[in-house]
Structure 1
């Protein structure tokens, strides 16, 4: 090993991770400081940078032609902007005391140390792989990076059978089930929860369940996967639960992700309840003035509950990167927190949520009322109007909005943004009823479905 450091008058920023948070931070820092003032070295262990992991299910399903469409900026483009980006290079150790990182070239095996004045940790998240026999067998795939997506597509291209099992029914599981249906696979989803989409309350998850079965997806709820069975060739042949076996030619793990904080933990950096790095509002790692962290490896403040959460979303990662890059560059920016907004779909069914679920509110000690309404995406008499279900939670007595969940067809999902803004502003449901939203029959009824739910919530709050 050698010390990769020729000391000059410049500061050196080292970035671990070449996707959304890491490269956004590097790019913003470069905008603010010239190369003769700040040297930027970034390490990425994969083959791609600055890509949309959220687009992988649509690439697998054929809606996106190839990985190039998911890449916002290539390694070459980053290098042209004055960033020393080292691909296929994995950081294996952070030496906080001596301000350096050790990295290994994954192709040659060579290792070296690189010193830093400032460090950004953007190591992302890793798919949860259940600790059970066969979980690492050929044909079993997690989907988190473009490399993962390419590996799954290669497997699908060389697999003769057409039976797929998806383990887990969260965002990843549901989206991958749709992708496999689009590729003419026979799909079974095994879910440990009572309904798919545990980010929703079960009554709203039931609507997703019905839609998935309408697409020909077999949903098996309240079941625990115990092992992956393999054939004589070592490849996956089935997935076993407590009381059944489900034949499989390919298995996709959609159980969720955990913060990838192995390096940070080994370096003694502070981690939260969910295993993510803890930062201040400027995205500095707590207790370390020259270390920042962002993206899927950190925990963020939930503005509704007041507690730390781990939410793996590219929207947050890019914002974190902008805040970090501004701070590294000598400016000032903060990331105040989130309200937990997310949107997804199963074919033409749109699924959205923001704020707290019922169990979230109970866990933090909030008393609440909940209402559910049925409405339509457009004026009922206008062509193309489709049904929509909106569930709303409000704090008892005060009427403060706590959360909204929406399930419906075209025009349903993005309505959750109304609620996201209201949550961020700390609005009551009564105040929401007076919101001046856009109206015309092609876009909504006279009373938008979100406002209909707010009116019903107002009445229930008063009654409580």
Structure 2
């Protein structure tokens, strides 16, 4: 670029991309930094995590999920071009090739600084019938609208959810709330593979109790269609499950096609590799963040791919600060996540047993049952807490919680303890808030820590 004005080009207009754009704009004026952002969809800065709750009726209007419209971004000095897809990245030439999806026009745009925020793509296996009418993903607002429209016009009330991770269980709840008979087909031995199987079994039992038919250890082989071409059933090796609607919840992979074709560094999990400043390794003027990158797991010391809006927004803030002339870093994660299905809350942070073994750690694992409030206080709800600690040192390694109201957010105590590298013995002395409406005298997380201390000492 000629002159003193720089151009920042951003590929992707959701959480990371527009957080980076907004932060960079706060730090540098339009006459100093031109910002051009490309987004292939119609929307920007929206909560994909909220789509299941929109489908289920907790969120009434699609626009409630939109934090800032394309027009609002443009009014703030960001040239956001929606319905425009970046087709090629020329790193040596410092330019990107974009295509206007409405007109088909293609054009090159030069950059001084580049942000890759291409997100993740949903896993959609190439099965017979997978693209039949009535089969839906829930990755974008457009996907959510298409599903809602289909639910309104579908006469049958049978739904099959393929997958039982976060999206799968959340969509199962959404469909139950809409009055559907729901079957969840899951290739794992238990739902929620982010939990250990013994904790996943608790989720299984609760979902069954809610009227959801759970089919575990089963791989979908094809989607069957009727004479009208619409979906009529989902098939596994052993059975067929009738369906008027099918929702795919098989997880996501980093969308790094452009980056890989351009020769940028890709990790073992398929995500872009960055440094602490979110700069792509080996490339001074290229940053990346969100669901398309790998992040450092502070507990295991390994790179992981974790697709969460919390990380994506933080990445954008870090990138925008650095692009805008400031300084910020993203040190890593401990793997915290929380979800729910109906009134069951599911949370985890740190390592599962499988991950601890893979990291070469010797550990103890304990499980306790407690309640969300003092046992004598009305509506005290049960919860199960599982805790892992390193055998020799007692250092906390991970926590999983499954329970009713008041269970899920307790995982945040464990997330802070993991970040601080606390031992389970140190955790037992934490000064947590107590009153009968909020907790037993010993909070369930601390009860688990006490049991883990005993296990460490015995080992």
2:425 aligns with one of 419, 427, 430: 430
Partner of 2:27: 32
Give the corresponding residue for 1:139.
134
Take 1:186 and 1:262, find their aligned partners in 2: how far apart are those partners? Answer: 38
Q: Deviations over 1:203-228 (max 9, x none)?
A: 11111111111111000001111111
2:400 corresponds to 1:405: yes
Q: Which residue of 2 aligns with 1:190?
A: 185
Within the candidate set 373, 379, 384, 2:379 is matched to 384
In 2, distance between residues paired with 1:167 and 1:402?
31
Q: Which residue of 2 aligns with 1:444?
A: 439
CA distance in 2, matches of 1:215, 1:327: 48
Alignment of 1:227-376 (within 5 A): 227-376=222-371
- How many Å separate the matches in 2 of 1:47 and 1:131? 26
CA distance in 1, matches of 2:86, 2:339: 33
**1:79-158 equivalent positions in 2, closer than 5 A:** 79-158=74-153
Matched residue SS, 1:372: strand
Q: Hey, what does 1:453 align to over in structure 2?
A: 448
Instruction: Summarize deviations over 1:118-149 as a string: whole Å, max 9, x none.
Output: 00000001110012111111111111111111
1:170 to 165, 173, 179: 165
- CA-to-aligned-CA distance 1:161-207 (integer Å, 9 cap, x gap): 11110000000000000000011111000001111000001111111
- How far the C-alpha of 1:234 sits from its partner, in A, is 1.8
Partner of 2:430, secondary structure, is coil
Partner-residue secondary structure (3-state), 1:189: strand
Offset of 1:233 from its aligned partner? 2.0
SS at 1:188's partner residue?
strand
Unmatched tracts of structure 1, length 5 or more: none
CA distance in 2, matches of 1:262, 1:154: 31
Tell me what 2:176 maps to: 181
Aligned counterparts of 2:344 and 2:107: Cα–Cα separation in 1: 50
| Structure 2 CA distance for aligned equivalents of residues 117 and 29 of structure 1 | 14
The 5-angstrom pairing of residues 42-81 of structure 1 reads 42-81=37-76
Unaligned 5+ runs, structure 2: none
Q: Residue 22 in 1 paired to residue 24 in 2?
A: no
Could you state the TM-score of these two structures normalised by the residue count of structure 1? 0.98
Paired residues in the alignment total 459
Task: Give CA deviations for 1:2-35 in whole Å, capped at 9, x if unaligned.
Answer: xxx8x54310000010100000000000001000
What per-residue deviation string (whole Å, max 9, x for no partner) do you get for residues 345-371 of structure 1? 011110000000000101111110000
Q: For residues 348 and 334 of structure 2, what CA distance do their matches in structure 1 show?
A: 10
Partner residue of 1:220 out of 198, 215, 220: 215
SS of the residue 1:332 aligns to? coil
Distance 1:207 1:73 in 2: 39
Q: Which 10-residue stretch deviates more, 397-406 or 157-166?
A: 157-166
In 2, the alpha carbon distance for the partners of 1:91 and 1:150 equals: 24
CA distance in 2, matches of 1:153, 1:273: 36
What SS is found at the alignment partner of 1:49? coil
Q: 1:40, CA displacement in angstroms?
A: 0.1
- 1:185 & 1:429 partners in 2: Cα distance? 44
